[in-house]
Amino acid sequence: MDATLPRQTRLRALRTDYFSTRLDTLVTLGFGLLAAWVLWSLFDWGVLHAVWSAENREACGHGAEGACWAVIDARWRLILFGLYPFEEQWRSALACAVIVLTGGASCAPWFWTARRLAALWVAGFVTFYVLMRGGVFGLTEVSEQNWGGLSLTIFIFASVTLLGMPLAIVFALLRRSQLPWIARTMGVIIDAIRSLPLLSIMFTFAIVLPFVLPGWMIGDKLHRVIAGYALFFACYQAEIIRGGIQSLPGGQEEAAQALGLGYWHRIGHIILPQAFRNALPATINQLVITFKETSLVVIIGFFEILASGNAAYGNSEWNFAHVEVYAFVGLIYFVFVFALSRYGAYLERRMAVAER
């Protein structure tokens, strides 16, 4: 008997996926060739003709055909740790590891209650800060002016998130307030801040704030920039949370009201947990953007990883090697951001399954 359905072999799948029509074949071949050429050029430049060790520095330079990874070999500690004291850099590395572990741990479902998650992150952050700052447990003190590289990037990211998240909840609730004036004013503030560039907010907080604040409130420049960034983050995140709240069926809140639950009880136990769940993909996306945009502090003059990368090729010995340095710094960013966004995608899938 003739089979009415063709058997799904791997070859056939390949054919339907790549060569189903003449146009398809053309597209596949064209893009395939392009991809092969790009990959080969990268491989040729980055591996075959590359110079790997700082001892062979003379082989690099403007005329060289391959990548000069020697610059990473010579300056990787500067890129990763910036201006942090050389002998103490193990602390900076350890501190980064602590935050990465905290991030990893918060992916475990056991931690998925507001209290546990908050406790975990506060603990992780405090450990990070003590390790970096020192001054206790026999660690020498390292002031924040000397922080740099990856740990500064992580510090800014973590503190912005930790400060901004509670602030975002407050903003979202204020904007949803029943009282028209509070809701309207908050709306104006949120929309105004959202339409300003982050860079101009950081710049304002770094440079202008000291003029308008009383002396005892000024604080360190780094802290001010983080405060500004946290405010910006909070305004974006507040809208995400508000979106999450709005997507809840109205009956939820009415039911809670009918049961006689007070405002805080309703918000804390019924509305927010669900809103957060709905807003999770958008939140992760916002975190990804926040991590990437920490790089803007370069322009304010901090030595986070991009700036220390600039400094790494900034001396006369290595000034031709910027592409290699940017590739290295880019790889570090990519690892963090990609991991975060994959995790977001995983959560989205998981939630989609749960909703079925």
Partner 1 sequence: MKFLLTAAAALGLMAGAASAQSRLETVQERGKLLCSGHNGSYLGFAEVDDQGNWEGLDIDLCRGLAASLFGKAEGHLDIVPISWAQRWPALQSGDIDVIIKLSGWSQSRDTELNLAFSNPYFVAGFHVMTNADLGVESVAGLDGGSICVSAGTTTERFLAAYVEKLGIDVEIIVFESGDEVRTAYFNGRCDGLTLLAPPLAAARATSENPEAHVILPDVIALEPEGIIVPEGDPKWLDVMNWMLSSLWFAELNGITSENVDEIKANPPSAQIGKFLGVTPGYGSRLGLSDDWAYNLITEVGNYAEIYDRNIGVPYALPRAKNNLYTNGGLFYPLMVD
Partner 2 sequence: MISLLRQKSFRDTASQVGFIGVLILLVVTFALTAKTNLDAQGMTSGFGFLERATGWGVSFSLIPFDTNDTYARVILVGLLNSLFLGAISLTLATVIGIGIGIMRVSGNKMAELIGTVYVEIFRNLPLLLQAFFWYAVLTTLPRPRDALEFGGVAFLNGRGAYLPGLNVTGFSVFLAAIALAVTVGLWLWLRSARRFARMAPHIKKAWSRGLWLGWAALAVALLWAGRIPETPLLSIPTLKGLNFRGGIRVSPELLTCIIAISVYGGAYIGEIVRAGFNAVGKGQSEAGHALGLSTWQTFTRIRLPLAIRAVMPMLINQYVWLFKSTTIGIAVGFVDFFMVISTSINQSGQTLELIAILMGGFLVINYSMAWVLNRVNDAIKLKGTQLRT
Any contact of residue 221 with partner 1 (CB under 8 A)? yes
Contacted by 302, from partner 1, partner 2, none: CB < 5 to 8 Å by type: partner 1
Least distance from partner 1 to the Cβ atom of residue 163, Å: 21
* C-alpha 54, offset from chain centre: 32
Quick check: 340 and 158 in contact, CB under 8 A?
A: no
Ramachandran angles phi, psi of 42, nearest 5°: -65, -45
Least distance from partner 1 to the Cβ atom of residue 76, Å: 10
Q: Show Cβ contacts of residue 166 under 8 Å, excluding neighbours closer than 6 positions.
A: none
Any contact of residue 145 with partner 1 (CB under 8 A)? yes
Any contact of residue 61 with partner 1 (CB under 8 A)? yes
Least distance from partner 1 to the Cβ atom of residue 95, Å: 16
Contacted by 24, from partner 2, partner 1, none: CB < 5 to 8 Å by type: partner 2
| Out of 70, 71, 83, 227, the residue judged to bind partner 1 by CB under 8 A | 83
By C-alpha distance, which of 83, 69, 91 is closest to 307?
83
Least distance from partner 2 to the Cβ atom of residue 45, Å: 12
Any contact of residue 146 with partner 1 (CB under 8 A)? yes
Q: Which tokens go with 42?
A: 């990268």
Residues lying near partner 2 in the complex (CB under 8 A)? 17-18, 20, 24, 27-28, 31-32, 34-35, 174, 178-182, 185, 192, 195-200, 203-204, 207-208, 211-214, 288, 292-296, 298-299, 306, 310, 322-323, 326, 329-330, 333-334, 337-338, 341
Strand pairing partners for 304?
Answer: 149
Contacted by 145, from partner 1, partner 2, none: CB < 5 to 8 Å by type: partner 1
Strand pairing partners for 68?
Answer: 51
Residue closer to partner 2 by CB (options 56, 200) is 200
Residue closer to partner 2 by CB (options 34, 122) is 34
Quick check: 85 and 132 in contact, CB under 8 A?
A: no
| Out of 68, 71, 72, 78, the residue judged to bind partner 1 by CB under 8 A | 78
Which among 44-52, 214-222, 268-276, 343-351 is the span making contact with partner 1, rule CB under 8 A? 214-222
Footprint of partner 1 on 262-321 (CB under 8 A): 298-303, 307-308, 310-311, 313-317, 319-320
Residue closer to partner 2 by CB (options 97, 213) is 213
Quick check: 329 and 72 in contact, CB under 8 A?
A: no
Q: Show Cβ contacts of residue 316 under 8 Å, excluding neighbours closer than 6 positions.
A: none
Least distance from partner 2 to the Cβ atom of residue 294, Å: 8
Least distance from partner 2 to the Cβ atom of residue 97, Å: 22
By C-alpha distance, which of 275, 299, 279, 188 is closest to 235?
188
Q: Which residues bind partner 1 (CB under 8 A)?
A: 61-62, 74-75, 77-78, 81-86, 141, 143, 145-146, 148, 206-211, 213-216, 218, 221, 298-303, 307-308, 310-311, 313-317, 319-320, 322
